[in-house]
A and B are shown apart, each in its own frame.
Chain A
């Protein structure tokens, strides 16, 4: 096939950077990379921190069950984010909204259920200190997965980078919150809603902003 019909400017630009490339792996396989980082972080935290004092008063489905559900949901959100990063593979906006609402909804429902089964504040907080502590821990746990996910997103070509970033932020924090749920000694709903749900919203916002900045630089 002849290249004569291609405008010279375009042909020169292509010829300058002409080499074989390996196609990206499917989104679920790339999500496994992020999930592996997540698993290492979560295993490290679980091995080195003590479980919440009221863990025995919570039914299994609410302690380990909900924890597992949040981790699985987190990994699913990460794979959605990575799928969104491939052109022509975009997720319908309705699905994105549903995914974001589910991330927040599950986190809030787990908080409500926990406060019902363990209504007492196990560790009474003084001011904002316990909340800030939880936010810090959740952020530290989510950050490695979040960073790797963003890297994988931007190595592809997200056409709605803010949306992909938002889903990545939601996935990383929802999964991390699954483990924080087993560790945080505070069972009162206001603490969970402000600091734990707040962490999810914060990372979703952060993902959105980083995605928007990347989009501005890339395009």
Chain B
């Protein structure tokens, strides 16, 4: 698993270096490798498939405009996820200014990290995940679902790795407490 992740990261680094050198196919490779996890991450913010797909395009546009800011051989994912996060936050800020809200029926399923899938049935875990503050959801998704280390989560969110770990621990604890209360 760790070897897979390392190989995957190495592949991303190679694609990113080729892309910086002007290889358009490498951009295609990055898009292909990252679109699914990025859509999942964007869901955490917007909870709407169409908006998440629009934001994914905006993310890749921003990534293209800022491609010189990636410094090889640093890991690619923290760099890309940080840009993605910012695109989502700017979108939310614009929505707040315009006082636009998505109707409830547009709320899609929140992706459930595998660790939590075993805690209860999927619908319950999804409901409880939805009650957590966004920052806690973000840490859980980034670490448990997308497989990023706490150090990488910290780099993406601009927090210390220890803070990311504490947030994840508290979020899991809260979900377990809710489940225990509901079971009682």
Query: Which residue of chain B lies nearest to A157 when distances are taken between CB atoms in the complex?
Result: B66
B10 within 8 A of A: no
Q: How many residues of B contact A (CB 8 A)?
A: 43
User: Contacts A88-B79, A92-B154, A157-B83 known; A5 to B69 CB distance under 8 Å?
Assistant: no
- Whether A92 pairs with B24 at a CB distance below 8 angstroms is no
Q: Are A87 and B25 in contact (CB under 8 A)?
A: no
**CB atoms of B69 and A24 under 8 A apart:** yes
Is there an interface contact between A90 and B64, defined as CB atoms closer than 8 Å?
A: no
Question: Min CB distance, B37 to chain A, in Å?
Answer: 15
Q: What is the interface of chain A mostly: helix, strand, loop, or mixed? A: loop
The residue of chain B having its C-beta at the shortest distance from the C-beta of A156 within the complex is B69
B125 contacts chain A at the CB level, 8 A cutoff:
no
A-B contact count (CB 8 A): 111
Known: A1-B32, A88-B80. A14 touches B27 (CB 8 A): yes
Inter-chain contacts of B83 with A (CB < 8 A): 87-88, 157, 159
Give CA–CA (A89, B20) in the complex, Å: 19
A7 near B86 with CB under 8 A, answer no
Interface stretch of the complex, out of A15-23, A47-55, A125-133, A184-192: A15-23
Residues of A within 8 A of B64 (CB): 13-14, 17
B22 touches A19 (CB 8 A): yes
Q: Which of B31-67 contact A (CB under 8 A)?
A: 31-32, 57, 60-62, 64-67
Question: What is the chain A residue whose CB lies nearest that of B26?
Answer: A1
Interface 9-residue window, one of B105-113, B129-137, B157-165, B175-183 = B157-165
A217 interfacial contact with B, CB 8 Å: no
Of B1-9, B70-78, B116-124, the one with at least 4 CB within 8 A of chain A: B70-78
* A contacts, CB < 8 Å to B: 1-3, 5-7, 9-10, 13-15, 17-26, 85-95, 156-157, 159-160, 219
The 5 closest A-B pairs by CB, nearest first: A88-B78, A20-B22, A90-B158, A88-B79, A157-B66
B residues near A (Cβ < 8 Å) are 20-22, 24-29, 31-32, 57, 60-62, 64-72, 74-75, 78-83, 85-86, 90, 154-160, 163
Q: What are 11 sample pairs from A and B whose C-beta atoms fall under 8 A apart?
A: A14-B24, A14-B60, A23-B72, A92-B158, A92-B159, A94-B160, A94-B163, A157-B62, A159-B82, A159-B83, A219-B86
